[in-house]
Structure 1
């Protein structure tokens, strides 16, 4: 017969096993640990550090971005009570972001630290709050921050994402002057349709610029480079800007002049850009010709090469123009404002062959001589974008695509010929009028003077008739009174 102590021991073991099994399936242990840590925290003094997202000039705090990148990589982010989930640049990427008033814990050199993300109710600015024990402050603070910067740099280098910034923020006091989206333009230096020698020259210039920091400093010059892209719409300027950004791995700041309030605001936008970036202003000629009342010409020129342009390094400034204008060129083409000038012409036969190879996968075709003949005869003014659209629409049949291109070029040539003929006829008419214009003007002048004189004579005769009628009526009335 089993003794009672054995039974009691068995029941105690069984009860303990059931209790542990129950606790393992619940959060009781986590609650107990949290309660113990909360109780322990009351016996320590803590130091707090704030890392705001923007400074008083609405400039982005780079440390805030580094900390955000670092915290996203922590396993504690997934274990926290509240976490925001966002889709990444790829369809299968999930990004975790710290929620407002959420607290996550990190460990460094056997010390515990806490991070929280706060949002101000007055101005909407976000701030990271670092909490650590005061006794650990001198031992871990600086090494911990250096650790954060190094980890964030490694993550950014491994997952470099080019950003497109736009100055469209309606309330800059809340979220700064710039808003950004991932820059996913597919253009590269290999896909851009451009003369091969010119493309290699541009690539060599950009590579030399990246390696010239010490050279620029030795010369006492700001480490920046300015490009002017000149060409009609559809010639590939925007695609080339995207290709340059991909080649340099630079963020792009696209400045919309219509969103700028004055010259000082334009300078402030430049001050809030980061290093290793491209600052782009498109349609510069339209802005200068229309003489904007918001930003003056001197403000734009100071933006290009004034004192404010030296506040930041390793920048590329890119300006685009659609047409040549002598006044505009004299204003901006001074040495020091534009370092590299690239002309984007309309489509020629060489560009057509590059387009056919890229869009249709065709390097040679029996219709190429006919296309070349049309280009050689001249009179065509078709942009590469127009040719590309035709090829995309007929990409399944290269022959049909080439025939459509030939038809478009012929129609464009006919229209251009008719326009030139109408211009020549108009010029002949104007020259003929200039030759015989004296006689015609004198004849017209004589006829007009004659008509005017004739009108005056008629008015005079009418007045005489009315006057005689008035006298006759007066005489009749006088005779009646006399009678």
Structure 2
């Protein structure tokens, strides 16, 4: 068998060389019309002789991430560890307790058999240079999978094998896939790490009624694909989390991600140069994902559209072009509730802020932020959840005192959690919490007393100022009255003198 195979290969190589020679001679000796006909015939012959076909699956298509690439990546990860043909493998782990994930290294090949047909996979990478204006050198890596197979399996590859991979990857992701958190870098690109935040709705320190309302809303949202299509709205949901720092906004976001099994895209607006880059980032998100913009009131200045139009009308053309390059409120709203909001499905959009009153009303109207969730100070119910999380206790002798103090003072869940984490001894930790709450109560009383004294002092000062003003006004009134009397007396004296003079003149 081997000599016959070698003979076949040698014959094919000889024939290919002969075809190349014929092509070279034809280019020099034959007219263009005949050359075109010969070239077409040679291409047809080469196509018939080539048995291997290849399908290229790129990671990014245009601005969007290729879902088929992600499916192939997940599917091959389950096949790579069993393949002994590859000399170089890539191994990663989400954490010390997580199982290792074996995947392909660039340039390596792996064979997979589906219904008797062999498919050879290869991971191809190449570096693309970015724009000179981008942050850093702008260079980034472009990845793609290439699958090669016999041409007689082409229809099977497209209609059966690839759909099988997509379905298998969906099942794998639902059961085993770790969640990722993405961050934006280089202007309009995402990079990711594994999300290992353990927060869940069971461990979240929040009022149970409020928690139940959020979970019910999320579950209802994920089941309403046909409903959103029927009413003609983008399949998305917006949440605004507002409240003081340390009230659990980030923990709630992680709990939502873990509950839905959605990846998180943490958008840092200060790292985006223009509305165009913002669109590329947002379109590049996958379906079933969460877009998070934290501290939206202070991460970037988002002016109202009316203000933008007024400034544009007053500025020159150069200033207009510079302003157009910046991220604007309109650019963000076009994705949240405009035409660009339909670029993906089953997405959650979350804005967080410590100061809701500072936000532009355009961000808050229904249809953009559908649910406003107030993250308040620690309640007695939230305290019991934290105590159970950190010390696995449902009740302790200090509970009545602690709960009474929590109702009198303002303390964040983060402050309570920090005290409970200081000591593994439950008694010590809870007594330390009592001390913290008593200190806060004392400080609040002192502040209230100082405020009352300042108010009383202010009232006393105002009273003195009022009395002084009244005395001054009375003094001014007396002086005016005295002057009036003097003027009247002088007037009377002048009349008497004048009368006397007239009398004397008359008698004379």
Structure 1-normalised TM-score? 0.74
Match of 1:269 in 2: 281
1:266–1:303 CA contact under 8 A, matched in 2: no
Match of 1:71 in 2: 76
1:263–1:295 CA contact under 8 A, matched in 2: yes
Label 1:424 to 1:215 Cα distance change in 2 as closer, same or farther (>3 A): same
Label 1:90 to 1:352 Cα distance change in 2 as closer, same or farther (>3 A): closer
Deviation at 1:146, TM superposition (A): 2.0
Q: Distance in 1 between matches of 2:390 and 2:235?
A: 38
1:76–1:106 CA contact under 8 A, matched in 2: no
Match of 2:159 in 1: 142
1:231–1:321 CA contact under 8 A, matched in 2: yes
Q: Among residues 101, 112, 136, which one is paired with 2:118 in the alignment?
A: 112
Match of 1:408 in 2: 436
Please tell me whether residue 307 in structure 1 is matched to residue 325 in structure 2.
no
Deviation at 1:225, TM superposition (A): 0.9
Deviation at 1:121, TM superposition (A): 4.7
What are the residue-to-residue correspondences of 1:423-462 with 2, within 5 Å?
423-431=451-459
Q: Distance in 2 between matches of 1:186 and 1:254?
A: 17
SS of residue matched to 2:178: coil
Q: Distance in 2 between matches of 1:152 and 1:37?
A: 40
Q: Distance in 2 between matches of 1:336 and 1:321?
A: 18
Deviation digits for residues 79-129 of structure 1, max 9, x if unmatched? 224322313225463322222222222333433332222222545312222
Match of 1:96 in 2: 102
Please tell me whether residue 383 in structure 1 is matched to residue 412 in structure 2.
yes
Q: Distance in 2 between matches of 1:340 and 1:41?
A: 69
Please tell me whether residue 61 in structure 1 is matched to residue 66 in structure 2.
yes
What are the residue-to-residue correspondences of 1:287-306 with 2, within 5 Å?
287=299, 294-306=326-338
1:76–1:105 CA contact under 8 A, matched in 2: no
Q: Distance in 1 between matches of 2:241 and 2:435?
A: 30
Match of 2:445 in 1: 417
Which of structures 1 and 2 has the larger relative contact order (alpha carbons within 8 angstroms, sep 6+)? Answer: 2
Please tell me whether residue 222 in structure 1 is matched to residue 238 in structure 2.
no
Greater CA drift, 141-150 or 403-412: 141-150
2:59–2:144 CA contact under 8 A, matched in 1: yes
Q: Distance in 2 between matches of 1:430 and 1:290?
A: 40
Label 1:434 to 1:297 Cα distance change in 2 as closer, same or farther (>3 A): farther
Label 1:162 to 1:264 Cα distance change in 2 as closer, same or farther (>3 A): same
Deviation digits for residues 35-84 of structure 1, max 9, x if unmatched? 89988997743222222221232x22121222222223336863224322
Q: Distance in 2 between matches of 1:130 and 1:39?
A: 26
Q: Distance in 2 between matches of 1:35 and 1:426?
A: 102
Label 1:273 to 1:371 Cα distance change in 2 as closer, same or farther (>3 A): same
SS of residue matched to 1:279: strand
Please tell me whether residue 128 in structure 1 is matched to residue 160 in structure 2.
no
SS of residue matched to 1:74: helix
Match of 1:170 in 2: 186
Q: Distance in 2 between matches of 1:374 and 1:171?
A: 49
What are the residue-to-residue correspondences of 1:205-220 with 2, within 5 Å?
205-220=217-232
SS of residue matched to 2:61: coil
CA RMSD of aligned residues (A): 3.3
Q: Distance in 2 between matches of 1:198 and 1:210?
A: 19
Match of 1:478 in 2: none
Deviation at 1:290, TM superposition (A): 7.9
What are the residue-to-residue correspondences of 1:277-292 with 2, within 5 Å?
277-287=289-299
Deviation at 1:233, TM superposition (A): 1.2
Match of 1:356 in 2: 387
2:187–2:272 CA contact under 8 A, matched in 1: no
2:246–2:412 CA contact under 8 A, matched in 1: yes
Q: Among residues 388, 394, 400, which one is paired with 2:423 in the alignment?
A: 394
Label 1:342 to 1:99 Cα distance change in 2 as closer, same or farther (>3 A): same
Label 1:408 to 1:255 Cα distance change in 2 as closer, same or farther (>3 A): same
1:77–1:83 CA contact under 8 A, matched in 2: no
Q: Distance in 1 between matches of 2:434 and 2:445?
A: 16
2:240–2:371 CA contact under 8 A, matched in 1: yes
SS of residue matched to 1:51: strand
Label 1:179 to 1:40 Cα distance change in 2 as closer, same or farther (>3 A): farther
Report the count of equivalent residues: 402
Q: Structure 2 unaligned segments of length 5 or more: list them.
A: 14-48, 130-140, 305-322, 473-508
Q: Among residues 371, 375, 384, which one is paired with 1:344 in the alignment?
A: 375
Please tell me whether residue 191 in structure 1 is matched to residue 203 in structure 2.
yes
Q: Distance in 2 between matches of 1:41 and 1:410?
A: 91
